Amino acid sequence: MIDKVNQMTISELSEGLRTREFSAEELTRHSLQMIEQKEPELNAFITVTAERAIEDAKAADKRLATKAETNPLLGIPGALKDNVCTKGIRTTCASKTLENFVPPYSATVADRLADAGMVLLGKVNMDEFAMGQTSETSYFGATKNPRNTNRVPGGSSGGSAAAVAGDEAVFAIGSDTGGSILQPSAFCGVIGLRPSYGLVSRNGIVAFASSLDQAGPITRTVKDNALVLNAIAGHDPRDTTSLHVREPDYTVGITDGVKGLTFGLPTEFFGEGLAESIKDAVLDVAKKLESLGATIKEVSLPSLKFALPAYVLISSAEASSNLARFDGIHYGYRAEGAESLDDVYVKTRSEGFGAEVKRRLMLGTFALSSGYYDAYYKKAQQIRTLIGSEFKRVFASVSMLIAPVAPVTAWPLGQSITDPVQLYLNDIYTVPIGMAGLPALSLPVAKDEDGLPIGLQLIGNRFQERLLYRAGVSIEEVTR
């Protein structure tokens, strides 16, 4: 039975654990074996916590033996993106700056998953400080796409998506600022949710852009995703942006179908630059949903053309502020040979940060500087308000939006890393979601001419995750 677990869902694995078809320790050892086998090529993990995983599994088996535990994540092996703080386990953010940093506390997300009984396999690779679209900016080397190891897995949560797609972990937690869960999920052919802003605590997740960041689950199936969200969603008094809005169970109504729902097709998502194979795949799914009783309606969000430059300005400005703490004084990397305090700052940050991080920090510092704040940062925030208003208007007439995740599928490793502008343009369909604080669900619906996954995203109104999962299950069924 254990040799079939790579094809099993969380619900199926949970049932197997409860009926003693296999133990949590056996399941965990299988995952660790998959990691040992695949890591030399994939490089999805930065830190593998094998001893901790076995301890977690043995503890889970003891809880399962009481037959009183019902949490479906109990004994299930998972992984955390390496910007999620874990007490006693290094958290690097894939940067030289934090290469040996071991947090004295755990993020709320990590604690909640531990309480649910998750077996922690380790910390997965990412773009440095979550700044990137390919997972190639990591200090620990690039992650490769399990569907084609000559291709990027997407970013910045590329390690999270690759670990799930490569059968190393049953599920993983990623973080999303401007598409960092959605895009790698699409590139690797797995399910990824960017939750509504404020639904999942940011406490203990190393900040990139505080007003945009959200942690979310990456899984094999839509229902699996809902089960993980059940464990991590909810108010946290340690996070001032956390809200009292969670649903008691995100799997309720998940198989109710799409009859009576209205899906909006935003015209701005289907213009120039979108690959024909992706456009055809998304429109084909829309037709299938229509045949199931849904209504398809074209809508327009004209201000989306301003979303990308506004996002780059806002996220870079917030990154400039958030990363100011990494100065070589309190913790993290400190450069040698400095002759003054200013020299410590300059040398440490020059040597500790990679090129992409430094690029965004310089842009953000410039945007916040005297004389430029009103011209750039303030105007970007006004555009953000406008985008939010347009989404609100559209959701008055549709249940959710259906759109591509990215204009292209996964490209070859190294192809675009030297062209930052081209890289930023690949986030054109996902940055508006983060700007408006909306939830979105990425799921694979087809393959392109090279056999690479094509991702579709469902975009919902705030805190409509349950509705997205309901539609997602229907899409899973019609695209199998």
Q: Active-site residues: which are they?
A: 81, 156, 180
Q: CB under 8 Å to 441, separation ≥6 — which residues?
A: 191, 192, 193, 194, 222, 225, 457, 458, 460, 465, 468, 469, 471, 472
Radius of gyration of the chain (CA): 21
For the chain, the three-class secondary structure string (H helix, E strand, C coil) is CHHHHHHCCHHHHHHHHHCCCCCHHHHHHHHHHHHHHHHHHHCCEEEECHHHHHHHHHHHHHHHHCCCCCCCCCCCEEEEECCECECCECCCCCCHHHCCCCCCCCCHHHHHHHHHCCEEEEEECCCHHHCCCCCCCCCCCCCCECCECCECCCCCCHHHHHHHHCCCCCEEEEEECCCCCHHHHHHHCCEEEECCCCCECCCCECCCCCCCCEEEEEECCHHHHHHHHHHHECCCCCCCCCCCCCCCCCCCCCCCCCCCCEEEEEHHHHCCCCCHHHHHHHHHHHHHHHHCCCEEEEECCHHHHHHHHHHHHHHHHHHHHHHHHCCCCCCCCCCCCCCCHHHHHHHHHHHHCCHHHHHHHHHHHHHHCCCCHHHHHHHHHHHHHHHHHHHHHHCCCCCEEEEECCCCCCCECCCCCCCHHHHHHCCCCCHHHHHHCCCEEEEEEEECCCCCEEEEEEEECCCCHHHHHHHHHHHHHHCC
What amino acid occupies position 407?
A: P
Mode of pairing for the β-strands spanning 295-299 and 262-266: parallel
Mode of pairing for the β-strands spanning 45-48 and 119-124: antiparallel
Q: Which residues of 82-111 are buried (b: 16+ CB within 10 A; e: fewer)?
A: bbbbbeebbbbbbbbbbbebebeebbbbbb
Report residue 411 CA to chain centroid gap.
19
